[in-house]
Amino acid sequence: MHHPTNRRRARAQEATLSRLARHAAQRPDVQVRDPLGPLPRQSSRRVSWKRALQDLIAAHNERHATKPKSVSFKTQTERACSLFRCFRDLHALGYKIRNPYCLGGRHITALVKDWTAAQPRARRRTLSPAMVQTELSHLRTLATWLGKPGLVLPAESYVDDPACVTRRSVATADKSWPAHGVDPDRAIEAIAAHDPWVGAQLRLARAFGLRIKEAVMIQPRLAERPAGDARGPSGFVGGHLEVVRGTKGGRQREVPIDTPAKRAALEAAKALLTSDAQFLANPTRSLVQNLDRLTNVMKKFGLTRKALGVTPHGLRHEYAGDRYEALAGVPAPVRGGPPPDPSADEQARRRVAEELGHSRPQILATYCGNPRAGARRAADGSPPTDDASA
């Protein structure tokens, strides 16, 4: 004979099973745990926010934010570092988020308010508009991973003064080395005597408007194309340098070899190589080590933004300004040139933008400035300003 307590327990279990069966029939997509089975073991350890964020990054970081393609390792690294910085900032501000899925609008607001404050609590200094936009861009990507695509608003929505988060995309000051009182020929010659590889990289970057990574990764002997060999996407016919490795987004381009300076820089680079397939980099060092070596050599010779206001990228600005002047017939607006002919200006900007590896002619305003600024200076006789950068 069964004990009354056992009968009541059996009836309760039977009622529970019946109720769960009805619920399962209504929601077939939901898996119901058997109440009579063993309970799952609960772990006593709580997953840290760092582990949760790292798992999220590992699952999605390889993909582009909006396009069906993968991104470079550089982009993956910068995105991961940015997200960890943002969550550390939140913890410093008192938001102890343990689960990235709990990220909400109030957290984004708190971050931007602190980033743009005169005395930030989480960062050492107030972030520049470009840095704020970059951090928000990475957070916007994270929001799409979390299934919250509208979480991160435009930067202007979080501040009272939009100017503190607005990028300046038009250069108002010449960033080339000569504009800062540095003689590129003498400086590069001294560097080449100290390190021939770095000297050749800087010389090639200046002659062809290359990014530093492109100058380090280029294969000079294979990159040179003779006259009549139009193998690249732009169809340029004539002797040119084909730039493929190290470009942004893998965008291939050709830069014409049309001056003695370009030919001399290319031949000096080829003279260092022992094989046709060799890169313009010290073979005893890795890519990262060669890039670091160039930076360290620049510091050794005092060629830094802090000391003289110059960077290796200034050689690219010099190429853009010189090339624009050769094609448009007048100095670039950022160099105080007079208003150019609109047709010549448009053609020069399109051509120089292609040689720099950009698809939009408008990007040349970052290097050469806005022709309307030149027209205003010609009207009032004011010199070019020196207060902004792009």
Query: What are the pLDDT digits (tens) for 268-327?
Result: 999 999 999 999 999 999 999 999 999 999 999 999 999 999 999 999 999 999 999 999
Q: The pTM is what?
A: 0.72
Integer distance in angstroms from the first to the last C-alpha of the chain? Answer: 90
- Worst-scoring range by mean pLDDT, 13-22, 179-188, 240-249? 13-22
- Least confident stretch, 7-11, 187-191, 234-238: 234-238
Q: Compare 85 and 229 and report the one with higher pLDDT.
A: 85
User: At residue 265, what is the residue type?
Assistant: A
Residue 159 CB-density burial (10 A; 0-12 exposed, 13-18 middle, 19+ buried): middle
Same domain, 129 and 225: no
Residues 140 and 214 in one domain: no
pLDDT-derived band at 21, boundaries 50, 70, 90:
low
Are 196 and 279 found together in one domain? yes
Average confidence (pLDDT) over 68-89: 93
* Residue 9 placed within a domain: no
Q: Is the dihedral of CA 317, 318, 324, 327 positive or negative?
A: negative
H/E segment holding residue 32 = none
Work out the angle at residue 16's Cα, subtended by the Cα atoms of residues 15 and 20, and round it to the nearest 5 degrees. 120
How many structural domains does the chain have?
A: 2
State residue 239's pLDDT score: 87
> How far is the CA of 275 from the CAs of 75, 218, 265, 279, in angstroms?
31, 13, 18, 9
- Checking if the pLDDT of 28 tops 70, the result is no
Whether residue 387 is contained in a domain is answered as no
Residue 237 lies in a domain: yes
Based on the fold, state whether residues 158 and 198 are members of the same structural domain: no
Beta bridge partners of 305: none
Say yes or no: 218 and 278 in one domain: yes
Nearest Cα to Cα of residue 98 among 62, 157, 151, 45: 45
Q: Do 197 and 290 belong together in one domain? A: yes
Q: Is the pLDDT of residue 371 over 80?
A: no
The parent domain of residue 227 ranges over 183-306
Average confidence (pLDDT) over 367-384: 60
Whether 42 has a pLDDT exceeding 90, the answer reads no
Residue 146 covered by a domain: yes
Q: Residue 102 above 60 pLDDT?
A: yes
Cα–Cα dist 356/317, whole Å: 10
Q: Which of these three, 263, 289, 306, is where a domain ends?
A: 306
Amino acid at 25: A
Q: Which of 66-70, 204-208, 213-217, 380-384 has the lowest mean pLDDT?
A: 380-384
Give percent of the chain above pLDDT 70. 81
State both tokens at 45.
């350890």
Amino acid identity for residue 299 in this structure: K
Residues 225 and 290 in one domain: yes
Q: What is the pLDDT of residue 79?
A: 97
Same domain for 269 and 189, yes or no, is yes
Domain membership flag for residue 93: yes
> What pLDDT, on a 0 to 100 scale, did the predictor assign at position 33?
45
Together in a domain, 201 and 281:
yes
Q: Which of 256, 284, 306 marks a domain boundary? A: 306
Q: Is residue 225 part of a domain?
A: yes
Determine, yes or no, domain membership for 228. yes
On whether both 158 and 199 belong to a single domain, the answer is no
At residue 36, does pLDDT exceed 60? no
Look over the chain and give the mean of its residue pLDDT values, rounded to a whole number: 86
Shared domain check, 161 and 132: yes
User: Which structure tokens are listed for 117?
Assistant: 């404050």
Residues 140 and 254 in one domain: no
Confidence band (pLDDT; 50, 70, 90) for 67?
confident
DSSP 17: H
Residue 309: alpha-carbon gap to chain centroid: 21
Out of 279, 306, 333, pick the residue that ends a domain.
306
Distance CA 237, CA 228 (A): 5
Residue 342 included in any domain:
no
